[in-house]
Structure 1
């Protein structure tokens, strides 16, 4: 089952597909590489998997071969016939939904059951989707892990440590109640067409959420602090109600800049504002 599929290049040629620049598409053809990506979150046998932007179905194949039950959201209808053929090769294991993933309730697609998210995300929606998956007030989320391909620069911002130039809102969002790691770098030459930049895969698992902290408050603090990252905290946070008092109460020097604060310090500020 699924082993008689033609090579991806032939599928793309047969359906006259080319990567759409406006949709941020870049196709991956290397099946060994795709199998390695599908293996990052562990055994997928009979597990629900959400894939956003499957395109012609390169990663989808690898997920199906790994035994996953895949729900794929694709807004490029040119790709739907190729995905339909894939569904026929793996009967009952692939559900394709046409539409915009940013406008959908992903939990509802699985009736509240847990699911893993694996995706070679289109570059133009990757950060928005990641922010949404990591940003909900309800925690732990219904998703069990995120395995996502980003531009390498974005991936490095997600796993960055305090004090580094890459450290910012994405790092705090990913790490204050999650465990984020850089799982694999992917050379630009692996894609068709090759993007101008290198790519990398980030793997994130939910961790315990600190008590007494609102996710919205934390996001407000980090947005203000990193929105003017060259300014001292007393300047950047003055528009956040209660933040100057919180700095004083917590003994955080208001002359420090955002990139010097640890994630625990950001959490402490948000906790003080949540009370």
Structure 2
């Protein structure tokens, strides 16, 4: 979808609605607003519904989505023991690929709620920027047509699974499936452990049938992954030419630090009681 003058006018309309809605925060980044609009294929009503679901869930679970700092001790521990990396470029289908893996296998490092908080900070950091360049128009930035996730299970043990918090898992899966302004296209599980059946039995109750169909388990080698994700996208650690994970992670951490104020600014995320009360007074004395 190209944002021509007509689409930009609809974004203006959507932005005005957002700012005047007492059950939404005061501000929203324009690129993020475009994501909601584009995710619903230009359907204004659909975009409004998705926006309301997104911010309602954020404020219902403030301990994950509002009370956050990408540079605090909990976040640092997450980023020290795990990689949560959006990979550069887009697949031939125009998909954005992200990779998640452990770099420290100590189960004691797992803080499921803090890790989930970090995951969504990485997503929010990415969502107010474009994903790449349009294939048909050089140097014209655009959005991905969908998201692909790669989960590397190397190093995961049953002890890691035992440290999962089911309430946090429920929030994570619900937000992922119902509130994100992206279309999930595939989930690739690589380096699958022998106890894969136990992992599936734990996760399946929280996953919709539609999303479960998107999961691909790569149990033998990465050759089957290459059929879906080109090597040009993948990091060198996975046989690709997309750079080293350490370098990509350094870029990500720098971007998170740069956007710290944005990620922590309540005017972008929190539904303030005074805004709702002011709107009620406006209608009362109108």
In terms of fraction of residues, the more strand-rich structure is 1
Flag the structure with more relative contact order, 1 or 2, with Cα contacts below 8 A and sequence separation at least 6.
2
Bigger Cα Rg: 1
Q: Which has the higher helix share?
A: 2
Normalised by the length of structure 2, the TM-score is 0.29
